[in-house]
Amino acid sequence: MSERVLYRGSLTLKELHGTIKKWFRRSTIVIIADCEVAYSGRAFSKASRSWRLLIIKEDGTVLIHESTGREPVNWQPNSYVVSEVREDVLIIKALRTKPREELLIRLRCPCEVLVVKLGVGRFVLTGTEHDIAEYLTRDPGLIEEGCELVAREVATPHGRVDLVLRGRDGALVMVEVKRGVADVEAVYQLRRYVEYYKSLGMKKVRGVIVARSLTPSARKLIQDSGFTSRCVRVDDGEVSVDEVC
């Protein structure tokens, strides 16, 4: 067994409870089990009993996958995960306070479990604007740590916002994606989006440009703008924060 694989095999419900308590926040826990799922918070959902793949990451992200489809049937970021055994069921709760959300998973034996220590490598990004937006949709934390996706391709009187995110501080984050060099028109477009949402009564709104590079005039316009803007460069395929204005 690899030194990064801390456990691989079958566990009873009591053993799995102990494993979650021991390794949560320290390693990634992968579980294959017969389960049912309920979510409550900003909406409500239920997934009936079925065999599913459950992933608990070190940062508290919880994902639940079924046999088909790319997207998880349920997921929740930045959660505090606890568990308890009740008769023949293990109840796993993924809890958040801001916003208040609860993902409730009821598992039954047998459970196949993998506990593994994963890493974080260099992120490399190539492709079209659509590809970039798609990738950022799956990992909005690349824009700002703790960001969550609100919507894509949001229509406004000034055009469509590529991505709308929610920052950790509750602010709306407008994202304009450019595959090549971003010029002043891209910054003006972003500013129109920000000003439009402010006109709707949103007090905290900021903008992000994702581009390979900025023209000098675009860079100055970002610096001179009246809203907070973070520029993220896609430079030779590698994403990095250019500056915060």
Q: How confident is the model at residue 237 (pLDDT cuts 50, 70, 90)?
A: low
Model confidence at 177, pLDDT cuts 50, 70, 90, reads confident
Calpha distance 216→105 (Å, rounded): 52
What's residue 245's pLDDT? 36
Q: How confident is the model at residue 239 (pLDDT cuts 50, 70, 90)?
A: low
Nearest to 185 by CA among 157, 211, 166, 165: 211
Task: Quote the tokens at residue 36.
Answer: 């049912």
Measure the CA–CA gap between 17 and 31, rounded to whole angstroms.
12
Q: How far apart, in whole angstroms, are the C-alpha atoms of residue 193 and residue 18?
A: 49
Parallel, antiparallel or unpaired: strands 89-97 and 5-11? unpaired
Q: ∠154-129-131 over CA atoms, to 5°?
A: 95
Confidence (pLDDT) at 234: 53
Distance (Å, whole) CA 227 – CA 206: 6
CB 177 within 8 A of CB 133: yes
Backbone φ/ψ region at 186: left (φ over 0), alpha (ψ -120 to 50), beta: alpha
Interatomic CA distance for residues 211 and 229, integer angstroms: 13
Per-residue pLDDT of 37-81, as tens digits, reads: 999 987 889 999 999 999 999 999 999 999 998 778 898 888 999
Whether pLDDT at 31 is above 90: yes
Domain at 129-244, CATH from 3.40.1350.10, 3.30.470.160, 2.60.40.420, 3.60.15.10 = 3.40.1350.10
pTM of the model: 0.60
In the three-class reduction of DSSP (H, G, I as helix; E, B as strand; rest coil), residue 171 is classed as coil
Task: Delimit the domains of the chain by residue range.
Answer: 5-116, 129-244
Biggest alpha carbon distance in the chain? 66
Question: Would 5-116 and 129-244 be classified into the same CATH topology?
Answer: no
Under CATH, which number does the domain 5-116 receive? 2.70.180.20
Angle, in degrees to the nearest 10, between helices 216-224 and 184-199: 20
